[in-house]
């Protein structure tokens, strides 16, 4: 008798990127055998198959943190009442960005890629995965104190401070104060320069000149070094902005999440996260509109601007 291959339900698989490792679902049995903290949430049927209660937020948290460790060597702590990211979906977004950078923007795998993640959450999941799996550099923004502290701790616990800057931002803005932050520019410029221009041994004066220019450049004006540089990866300070915004305009509206998940074929898992992670004045339309308006001012500094929406679509 042939061994049956474990497959993702067709409806869900339709939404999985071809390179998403979770097209083959993780083995809960293996996870339970390796991670004692995962075991309390498992039940076993008569055939020995392991089941997880997707309605229990603690079970979801254990699943995500154990998978992050098992599959990406990431040690992540998520505070009790905060959003627990679903890894297959988070990977989809990153892999889609990777495709766009390679095919639309013609980036090389050796280029220094700088991505801005707006609203990184307590887990800091996109930056951690992108830094560890894809070698990118990231600026992660967050308005919430608890999420900011947890995200910073997660970055530090994985020794990724060199790749990821976590910035606490004001909730009145989305990109303003981030894309024009002189310290961020300096760190990312030096990273790009170090790798792309490592044969230039007389670059100290040049760097000073560029930094003084960056500090005095209005947000909508291209920088001299970005305009004139022939090197593709030096052309833009930021290669990509990404965002998984708060989708809802009210607590009541969050109930619609279950419905849209069902339509997308996702397992109906318990919603996690506190209210201000999911709700923003005016909902996602107002948030994304503000992001588009602000990002327009920085179009010369950002190669591709994107966001996820509440229907699970990715938009550039």
Residues engaged in binding ligand SAH (CB under 6 A): 83, 85, 118-121, 123, 125-126, 141-144, 147, 169, 171, 174, 244, 246, 276-277, 280
Total residue count of the chain as it appears in this document: 316
Alpha-carbon distance of 282 to 280, in angstroms, equals: 6
Alpha-carbon distance of 139 to 169, in angstroms, equals: 12
Pairing of strands 314-315, 307-308: antiparallel
Cβ proximity to ligand SAH: between 203 and 309 the closer is 309
273 is in an annotated binding site: no
39 is in an annotated binding site: no
CB of 248 to ligand SAH, least distance (A): 11
Cβ proximity to ligand SAH: between 31 and 175 the closer is 175
119 is in an annotated binding site: yes
Alpha-carbon distance of 122 to 138, in angstroms, equals: 15
CB of 22 to ligand SAH, least distance (A): 16
Q: For residue 22, give the DSSP letter.
A: G
23 is in an annotated binding site: no
Cβ proximity to ligand SAH: between 86 and 226 the closer is 86
Alpha-carbon distance of 213 to 233, in angstroms, equals: 19
Cβ proximity to ligand SAH: between 32 and 243 the closer is 243
| CA atoms in the 13 A half-sphere facing the CB of 94 | 27
CB of 175 to ligand SAH, least distance (A): 9
Please check whether residue 186 is in contact with residue 211, taking contact to mean a CB–CB distance below 8 angstroms. Answer: yes
CB of 160 to ligand SAH, least distance (A): 16
Cβ proximity to ligand SAH: between 125 and 188 the closer is 125
CB of 121 to ligand SAH, least distance (A): 3
Name the residue number minimizing CB distance to ligand SAH.
119
CB atoms within 10 A of CB 5: 6
List all residues 6 or more positions away from 289 whose beta carbon is below 8 Å from its beta carbon. none
Cβ proximity to ligand SAH: between 233 and 310 the closer is 310
List all residues 6 or more positions away from 291 whose beta carbon is below 8 Å from its beta carbon. 118, 174, 175, 241, 243, 245, 305, 307
CB of 4 to ligand SAH, least distance (A): 33
Residues comprising the binding site for S-adenosyl-L-methionine?
Answer: 90, 119, 142, 244
Mark the binding-site residues, compressed into ranges: 90, 119, 142, 244
């Amino acid at each position: 008798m042939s061994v049956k291959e474990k497959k993702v339900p067709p409806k869900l698989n339709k939404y999985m990127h071809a390179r998403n490792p979770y097209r083959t679902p993780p083995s809960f049995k293996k996870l339970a055998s390796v991670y004692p903290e995962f075991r309390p949430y498992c039940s076993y049927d008569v055939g020995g198959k392991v089941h997880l209660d997707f309605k229990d937020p603690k079970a979801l948290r254990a699943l995500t943190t154990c998978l992050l460790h098992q599959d990406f060597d990431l040690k992540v702590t998520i505070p009790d009442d905060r959003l627990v990211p679903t890894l297959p979906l988070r990977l989809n977004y990153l892999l889609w960005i990777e495709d766009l950078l390679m095919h639309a923007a013609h980036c090389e795998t050796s280029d220094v890629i700088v991505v801005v993640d707006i609203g990184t959450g307590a887990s800091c999941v996109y930056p951690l995965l992108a830094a560890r799996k894809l070698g990118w550099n990231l600026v992660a923004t967050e308005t919430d104190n608890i999420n900011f502290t947890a995200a910073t701790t997660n970055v530090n616990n994985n020794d990724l401070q060199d790749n990821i800057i976590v910035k606490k931002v004001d909730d009145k803005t989305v990109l303003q104060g981030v894309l024009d932050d002189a310290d961020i520019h300096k760190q990312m410029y030096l990273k790009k320069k170090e790798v792309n221009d490592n044969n230039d041994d007389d670059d100290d004066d040049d760097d000073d000149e560029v930094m003084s220019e960056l500090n005095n450049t209005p947000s909508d004006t291209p920088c001299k070094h970005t305009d004139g540089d022939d090197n593709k990866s030096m052309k833009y300070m930021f290669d990509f902005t990404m965002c998984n915004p708060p989708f809802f305009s009210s607590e009541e509206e969050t109930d619609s999440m279950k419905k849209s998940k069902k339509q997308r074929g996702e397992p109906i898992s318990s919603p996690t996260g506190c209210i201000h992670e999911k709700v923003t004045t005016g909902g996602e339309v107002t948030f994304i509109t503000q992001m588009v308006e602000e990002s327009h001012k920085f179009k010369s500094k950002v190669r591709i601007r994107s966001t996820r929406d509440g229907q699970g679509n990715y938009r550039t």
